[in-house]
Amino acid sequence: MSDMPKSVRINEEGPREGFQIESAAIPTARKVELIDALSETGLRHMQIVSFVNPKRVPSMADAEQVVAGFKPKPGVDYTGLWLNEKGLERARTTGKLALEGKISIYASEKFSTRNNNRTTAQEFEYARRVLDRYKEYGIPVERGSIASAFGCNFQGDIPTSTVLDIVRRIFEIAEENAIVLKEISLADTMAWATPLSIKRTVGAIREKYPDMRLNLHLHDTRGMGIANAYAGLEMGVDMFDACVAGLGGCPFAGHKGAAGNVCTEDLAFMCEEMGIKTGLDLERLLDCARLAEDIVGHPLPGSVKFGGSLGKLRAAAQ
Amino acid sequence: MSDMPKSVRINEEGPREGFQIESAAIPTARKVELIDALSETGLRHMQIVSFVNPKRVPSMADAEQVVAGFKPKPGVDYTGLWLNEKGLERARTTGKLALEGKISIYASEKFSTRNNNRTTAQEFEYARRVLDRYKEYGIPVERGSIASAFGCNFQGDIPTSTVLDIVRRIFEIAEENAIVLKEISLADTMAWATPLSIKRTVGAIREKYPDMRLNLHLHDTRGMGIANAYAGLEMGVDMFDACVAGLGGCPFAGHKGAAGNVCTEDLAFMCEEMGIKTGLDLERLLDCARLAEDIVGHPLPGSVKFGGSLGKLRAAAQ
């Protein structure tokens, strides 16, 4: 328990991960309403849209309108996701987002080949070209990011050695480009991780790179999200991506999107109850979670929004 | 991680905890159907009904019929819950249940006073009288059980010292009655526990009673169930109560019963994925979880029944 951090940073991804899987019928104004409400919770970092092909992801066709609409809160970084140059150009054009470059590699070669039609070697070549573009545009690159780092529906379990090898090669191309990475993010993209595999992989990276900050991007598809986050905390991880209300997931069996990220307010609840500072206002987050549910029009998976926080009960019991 | 057990026993409580909060409209035959299906999953211990006042809990009015209807599987202990002498008589009369006596005390005096109109001291007096009755009937007493061991909506946080004191007094009255307890069960009745408080309280008991088997009865009201179970595993706990599909809870905000136990198949999934044997057939459990959902007629909170297990994906990826 001694490795537990004193404070953590939670990066909100609900508006992007969440609305992406919903129908395109959600009005832009309501997306903006959620983003503005989240800005008042103490969150410092929020991914709010993705710039992807509107034909493939109609629910993100209004990305520019969402960015135009929200009211930036000083001290909060608002970001967008892009997967190719066209997306990057769209993000730049908004003039309102924090542009964050990263070196992203899939730990699963089968998934990479299937999704991007590139082998892992080709992924690294592609990452080099992307870095050139970031340099040209003056976009800072601080994060190395590894997708499907714990397992893959197409490749199966991902050995720790594979992840370590990718981390090493990420640092290599960072160094080639005179980039000093500040953090490595491990994504459990398809929800294969358990607390034990989190500890194993995080431990192996910690051993080689003791000073590198680690981020966990956890999915809750198999109900392990909070337990995996706890295992990360026990290994000293102090940064997590999360989605308010567990946006991106849905408790309906018939709904394809049961793969939501770990839930922001449930994670914040656990941290604060264990004495780990989040800088977040839990009651306001719970209001946002209920707002998110109202916006999508169906129940969302987060638990504390049903069960309630303990602050008021604790005060009343005095 | 070195304290993690090699195997665990999961006690199923879904039919009792789950159907108890549902409407009384569920046909007895369907309850029996679920119990018989659960009997084929490898579970060795199942609490299937409670003998409580049918006016207060109409959904359990058919307890005798449920017990009469199910097909006992050799090697499985089927139990019922009773809260007073009348309930005990009903359980005995069935002639088909494993009668298990226990010494049950609330860690929260306020809750005990509110619920049972007895102080903690009076609770212990009552427990003594109950033990006399067990002796008279030849009912074995192997478990000491502490409710609201981590916190209480009326009393607030429960200090570890309070739990330790109750454990000590439970052992005292066991000794007075020449009873050798085999296990102590800690219930997080109102879902106040975090992984840290689980470790703190379990650790304190372990230190005083290193050889005593511990059981955790965890509720998932605030999404901490699986993480709390993991913290228990890390402390060497090898017995858990759980409910298939997370029965007893419900993902609907409007439904009062969001306080389900930790979900049997999600817990089994985590254990097996971490190399801890459960003796359970996960695929059959998932079938039971879907059956439970069909029976209650609304979504239930367990995750692996949506997300799927990894066995087939792993095999296909070879």
SS (H, E, C) chain A: CCCCCCECEEEECHHHHHHHHCCCCCCHHHHHHHHHHHCCCCCCEEEEEEECCCCCCHHHCCHHHHHHHCCCCCCCEEEEEECCHHHHHHHHHHCCCCCCEEEEEECCHHHHHHHHCCCHHHHHHHHHHHHHHHHHHCCCEEEEEEECCCEECCCEECCHHHHHHHHHHHHHHHHHCCCCCCEEEEEECCCCCCHHHHHHHHHHHHHHCCCCEEEEEEECCCCCHHHHHHHHHHCCCCEEEEEHHHCCCCCCCCCCCCCCECEHHHHHHHHHHCCCECCCCHHHHHHHHHHHHHHHCCCCCCCHHHHCCCHHHHHHHC
Q: Exposure string (b/e) for A185-201, b if CB count within 10 Å is 16 or more?
A: bbbbbbbbbbbbbbbbb
Q: What is the pLDDT of residue A18?
A: 86
Whether residue B253 has pLDDT greater than 50: no
Q: What is the pLDDT of residue A259?
A: 63
Which of B110, B154, B223 lies nearest to residue A304, judging by beta carbons? B223
Whether residue A250 has pLDDT greater than 60: no
Closest approach of A270 to chain B, Cα-based (Å): 6
Q: Flag if A302 and B223 touch (Cβ within 8 Å).
A: yes
Closest approach of B284 to chain A, Cα-based (Å): 16
Work out the pLDDT band at B292, boundaries 50, 70, 90.
Answer: very high
Q: With beta carbons under 8 A apart, name residues in chain A contacting B199.
A: 1
Closest approach of A300 to chain B, Cα-based (Å): 8
Q: Token pair of A152, please?
A: 């893959």
CA separation for the pair A306, A289 (Å, rounded): 10
Q: Flag if A293 and B253 touch (Cβ within 8 Å).
A: yes
Whether residue A287 has pLDDT greater than 60: yes
Residues of B with active-site annotation: 250
Q: With beta carbons under 8 A apart, name residues in chain A contacting B317.
A: 110, 152-156
pLDDT in tens, A24-36: 789 999 999 999 9
Cβ proximity of B48 and B67 under 8 Å: yes
Most confidently modeled range among A41-45, A245-249, B253-257:
A41-45
Query: Mean of the pLDDT values across residues A72-81?
Result: 97
| Chain A residue with the nearest C-alpha to that of B290 | A253
Which of B251, B270, B317 lies nearest to residue A251, judging by beta carbons? B251
Whether residue B250 has pLDDT greater than 60: no
Query: Mean of the pLDDT values across residues B266-288?
Result: 98
Report percent pLDDT > 90 for chain B.
85
Closest approach of B202 to chain A, Cα-based (Å): 14
Q: What is the pLDDT of residue B301?
A: 87
| Chain B residue with the nearest C-alpha to that of A293 | B253
Work out the pLDDT band at A100, boundaries 50, 70, 90.
Answer: very high
Report percent pLDDT > 70 for chain A.
96
Q: What is the pLDDT of residue B25?
A: 85
Cβ proximity of A220 and A241 under 8 Å: no
Q: With beta carbons under 8 A apart, name residues in chain B contacting A152.
A: 317
Query: Chain-wide mean pLDDT for chain A?
Result: 93
* Selected residue with higher pLDDT from B66 and A259: B66
Which of A153, A263, A293 lies nearest to residue B223, judging by beta carbons? A263
Q: With beta carbons under 8 A apart, name residues in chain A contacting B310.
A: 151, 192, 222
Find all residues with CB under 8 Å of B120, minimum gap 6, and list them: B105, B106, B109, B112, B166
Whether residue B58 has pLDDT greater than 50: yes
Other residues' Cβ atoms within 10 Å of the Cβ of residue A21 = 19
Query: Mean of the pLDDT values across residues B75-81?
Result: 97
Query: Mean of the pLDDT values across residues B53-75?
Result: 95
Q: What is the pLDDT of residue B260?
A: 82
Q: Flag if B222 and A252 touch (Cβ within 8 Å).
A: no
Whether residue A254 has pLDDT greater than 80: no
Cβ proximity of A193 and A228 under 8 Å: yes
| pTM reported for the whole predicted model | 0.96
Q: What is the pLDDT of residue A56?
A: 87
Work out the pLDDT band at A299, boundaries 50, 70, 90.
Answer: confident
| Chain A residue with the nearest C-alpha to that of B273 | A194
Closest CA to B26 of A45, B34, A150: B34
Query: Mean of the pLDDT values across residues A148-156?
Result: 94
Q: What is the pLDDT of residue B2?
A: 61
Q: Flag if B317 and A110 touch (Cβ within 8 Å).
A: yes
Q: Flag if A227 and B222 touch (Cβ within 8 Å).
A: no
Q: Which residue in B226, B255, B272 has the most chain A C-beta atoms within 10 A of its own C-beta, making it the best mutation to test that interface? A: B226
Report percent pLDDT > 70 for chain B.
96
Whether residue A255 has pLDDT greater than 50: no
pLDDT in tens, A191-227: 999 999 999 999 999 999 999 999 999 999 999 999 9
Whether residue A45 has pLDDT greater than 50: yes
pLDDT in tens, B110-133: 999 988 899 999 999 999 999 999
Which of B273, B290, B317 lies nearest to residue A156, judging by beta carbons? B317
Length of chain B measured in residues: 318
Q: With beta carbons under 8 A apart, name residues in chain A contacting B263.
A: 223
Work out the pLDDT band at A256, boundaries 50, 70, 90.
Answer: very low
Which of A151, A253, A307 lies nearest to residue B191, judging by beta carbons? A307
Closest approach of B156 to chain A, Cα-based (Å): 5
